Amino acid sequence: MKLQFFGAARTVTGSKHLITTQRGTRILLDCGLFQGINTDELNQKFHFKPSEVDYLILSHAHIDHAGLIPRLVRKGFTGPIYCTPATADLCRIMLLDSAYIQEKDLKRINDRRERQGRPVLEMLYEAADVEQALSQMKTVDYGQTFRLNQDEVSVLFTDTAHILGSAAVSLTVQEDSREVRLFFSGDIGRPHDKILKMPEPFPQADYIICESTYGDKLHEPEPDMRKHLLRIVHETCVVRQGKLIIPAFAVDRTQELIYALDQLESDGKLPRIDVFIDSPLAVKATQVMKKHDECFNPELRAYIEKDGDAFAFSNLHYISDVEDSKAINERQEPCIIISASGMAEAGRIKHHIRNTVEDARNTILLVGYCGPETLGGALKRGDREVKIFGETYTVRAEVEVMDSFSAHGDYAEMLDFLSCQNPAQVKQVYLVHGEYDRQVVFRHNLQSAGFRNVYIPSLYESVAL
Ligand SMILES: [Zn+2]
């Protein structure tokens, strides 16, 4: 049996791992988009034949895990795509959004390449490819072992509590003389997520492909997030009569904020101000989330039982229409605007920041990871001047950071996640989805926990199992 790493090898994006069994069955784990600087060409070519892949198993809907599925289909993959029901529903909205971004970005990228005298790139995919990919999806719930093919490969999804629908994948492969148990972690979430359940234990494996994003890091102990948020709301909207602008990822992060505000409102603590969710993707993602309460933790279920809806309260407004979004900018009254993208490098949030950043009454609150080259990154760093749509703006608004949100476990939480395993029975751990320096630290941590053989594969490397 052979395992090849076609992405997320010594980096955090482009997750793609191909298994070829002894009998020649080809199973692709994830088909993610490479993201970040200089990845345009990387996403064009697969380095394997999509038409020769028999099955795709998808861990979760994040674009760095699912974002190249429509291209795989466009290039000839006709097999089934297995994922959880929530992942399939999220893929519908996220991949259509991704196709729209691809089409929009391609023109800009190719204009630049033409100026540089480099060959232009072909379209990665379009909406029709997304529709085709969605038609190939087959959903399976957590905890239901299913067969991929006749008496060779069986699969089990277990919850990793990373985002709605996220799953780890346990594969059991029958060979002529042995049975091989392979585990793929996908992305590992954190215990005590505000919305999701706890990460689940999984069956003993012989080989483990494990993420390592925070392999060298321990998260700060979480302060009281609601209290922190309420202080910022009060200082901005009540004391200074300003606007609170929050760039947030449309999926999960936005719903965590809505739920926190909903709870504050229920407790009578939230001032009477309007709250706008200004992102078509976030509006759709909230609908998907409401539909999949099977993924919710007991606290959230109990809250919904009492409150009726954890994502709706009297002053909360969901905005999809562009004209409605523009109208928010005209408002003078204090309000809270939550909008995407999370790093403020694209989307409606850029307009909101442009309109508020030079006024000291306002606050920009950063709640997630921001790449250093993004607008969110510049604000987080404390830059006094920022560029938005080519113009320079002076930062007079307050900039606040809340780091209590993270969808990835730190190394202690990942070791805890792996503690369901007898390390002596694990022949090899392969570290993926992490920067190399962090992976080296995580390898040491795993070895200290008894996992003797830990390997850090490089891109396109092939290993025999
Ligand atoms: Zn993820």
Mean pLDDT, rounded, for 396-404: 91
What CATH number did the domain enclosing 258 receive? 3.40.50.10890
- Contact present, 251 and 163 (Cβ < 8 Å): yes
Nearest in space to 184 (alpha carbons), one of 412, 8, 438, 53: 8
Q: Are residues 237 and 207 in the same domain?
A: no
Report the distance separating Cα 27 and Cα 261, nearest Å: 43
Could you tell me the residue range of the domain that residue 37 belongs to?
2-217+407-464
**How many CB atoms lie under 10 A from the CB of residue 414?**
25
Q: Are residues 22 and 154 in the same domain?
A: yes
- Contact present, 72 and 50 (Cβ < 8 Å): yes
Q: Are residues 352 and 268 in the same domain?
A: yes
How far is ligand 1, taken at its centre, from the CA of residue 26, in Å? 23
Q: Are residues 358 and 453 in the same domain?
A: no
Report the distance separating Cα 435 and Cα 443, nearest Å: 12
Place of tokens 């985002």: 163
**Residue that is last in its domain, among 354, 383, 405:** 405
Q: Give me the amino acid identity at 265.
A: E
Q: Are residues 202 and 291 in the same domain?
A: no
With vertex at residue 358, the alpha carbon angle to CA 353 and CA 361, rounded to the nearest 5 degrees, is 95
**Residue that is last in its domain, among 372, 388, 405:** 405
Backbone angles phi, psi at 263, to 5 degrees: -65, -40
**Who surrounds ion ligand 1 at CB < 5 A?**
62, 187
Q: Are residues 209 and 258 in the same domain?
A: no
How far is ligand 1, taken at its centre, from the CA of residue 391, in Å? 33
Q: Are residues 244 and 374 in the same domain?
A: yes
Mean pLDDT, rounded, for 57-86: 98
How far is ligand 1, taken at its centre, from the CA of residue 328, in Å? 31
Give the Å distances, CA to CA, from 317 to 38, 202, 311, 321: 38, 40, 10, 12
**Residue that is last in its domain, among 361, 381, 405:** 405
Q: Are residues 400 and 415 in the same domain?
A: no
Residues with Cβ within 8 Å of residue 380, at least 6 apart in sequence: 366, 370, 399, 401
- Where residue 115 falls among pLDDT bands split at 50, 70, 90? very high
Q: Are residues 305 and 439 in the same domain?
A: no
- Contact present, 30 and 17 (Cβ < 8 Å): yes
48 SS3 class: coil
Evaluate if residue 37 carries a pLDDT over 80. no
How far is ligand 1, taken at its centre, from the CA of residue 397, in Å? 31
pTM: 0.94
What CATH number did the domain enclosing 60 receive? 3.60.15.10
* Total of domains in the chain: 2
Q: Are residues 60 and 159 in the same domain?
A: yes
How far is ligand 1, taken at its centre, from the CA of residue 433, in Å? 10
How far is ligand 1, taken at its centre, from the CA of residue 55, in Å? 21
Q: Are residues 26 and 51 in the same domain?
A: yes
Q: Containing H/E element for 17?
A: strand 16-20
Q: Are residues 189 and 263 in the same domain?
A: no
**How many CB atoms lie under 10 A from the CB of residue 303?**
18
pLDDT, tens digit, for every residue of 297-343? 999 999 999 999 999 999 999 999 999 999 998 899 999 999 998 89
Q: Give me the amino acid identity at 109.
A: I
pLDDT, tens digit, for every residue of 188-221? 999 999 999 999 999 999 999 999 999 999 988 7
How far is ligand 1, taken at its centre, from the CA of residue 22, in Å? 30
Q: What is the pLDDT of residue 21?
A: 98
